[in-house]
Amino acid sequence: MPWDNSRMNIAGNLIADATRRIFRDLGDPQALNLARDESWRAPLWRALEDAGLTRAWVPENHGGAGASIAEGFEILRISGEFAVAVPLGETLIAGWAFARDGKKVPSGPLEVDLSTKDNALQLMGAAVRAMQMAGALQSMLDRSVAYAKERVAFERPIGGFQAVQHNLARLAGETAAALAAAGSAADAIATEPEFNDAVFLEVASAKIRVGEAAETGAAIAHQVHGAIGFSREHVLHRYTQRLWAWRDDFGSESQWAARLGAHVARNGADALWPALAAR
């Protein structure tokens, strides 16, 4: 099922609308794909800052937007739909960490130590990347479906061929699984701020499942697009490159699978089903 943002209030919907408008106007992947330099970065970042989106998780009394966890993750999902290489996720995480520790949040883009041993940064970072990857997969699905309707072969749209329909159905399934897993992790963080075992299970599972969906989904999207999807002129490669980068951030699937396995073994088999059923 898709990421459920029904818990967001009117303010949250306004934040989501502002996020999409800014990225659509200043971070459209096709426009950036044709850009000759990186001059687009400064205006995009400035617009995100002016809208308070870069400090969404910083409380208002610390100079931030005071957005909820759910609202912040919706910002990240939308940013993933555009697959733009700006440090929005890192800045949100860093701002959240500074505010959590009662420290002043520096201005400008912020970085996060991807090798950090802090369990709460690791978990938040993995959840952030899972949500951004899920957003990117949603856009890849939409673009693949649109292309299949437009591309004609043997005097008919390729979307009419059963093999292509099967591939698009698989891509839709992987996208839905990614959105559900990432959304469940976000919900766990929103409801369990202490980053307990339930949060760990959700985040670890999300990073693993979304990473697998990214691998399968990117391959299917390129199969649907054919050779044109690999060309520099086509926007699809921007999504696949961003997915490859995000998959390894804050731990790859194999690393999280090893951590998850060790966690289950340490707690014992009898504790596994109650932990799963509790969510």
Instruction: List pLDDT tens digits, range 180-230.
Output: 999 999 999 999 878 888 899 999 999 999 999 999 999 999 999 998 888
Q: Residue 1's pLDDT band (boundaries 50, 70, 90)?
A: very low
- What is the residue whose two structure tokens read 């959240």? 96
CATH number of the domain encompassing residue 40: 1.20.140.10
Residue 10 structure tokens: 């009117």
Q: Where are the beta strands (DSSP E) in 26-170?
A: 152-153, 156-157
Reply yes or no on whether the pLDDT at 115 is more than 80: no
pLDDT digits (tens, 9 = 90+) for 17-57: 999 999 999 999 989 988 889 999 999 999 999 999 999 99
Whole-Å CA distances, 245 to 128, 157, 250: 13, 33, 11
pTM of the model: 0.92
Question: Residue 158 belongs to what domain range?
Answer: 1-279
Q: How far is CA 218 from the centre of its chain?
A: 14
Q: How many domains does the chain have?
A: 1
Q: What is the pLDDT of residue 161?
A: 93
Give yes or no for a contact between 201 and 275, defined as CB atoms under 8 angstroms apart.
yes
Q: What is the pLDDT of residue 118?
A: 76
pLDDT digits (tens, 9 = 90+) for 118-161: 788 899 999 999 999 999 999 999 999 999 999 998 889 999 99
Q: Residue 2's pLDDT band (boundaries 50, 70, 90)?
A: very low
**Lowest-confidence pick of 70-84, 101-115, 188-202, 259-273:** 101-115
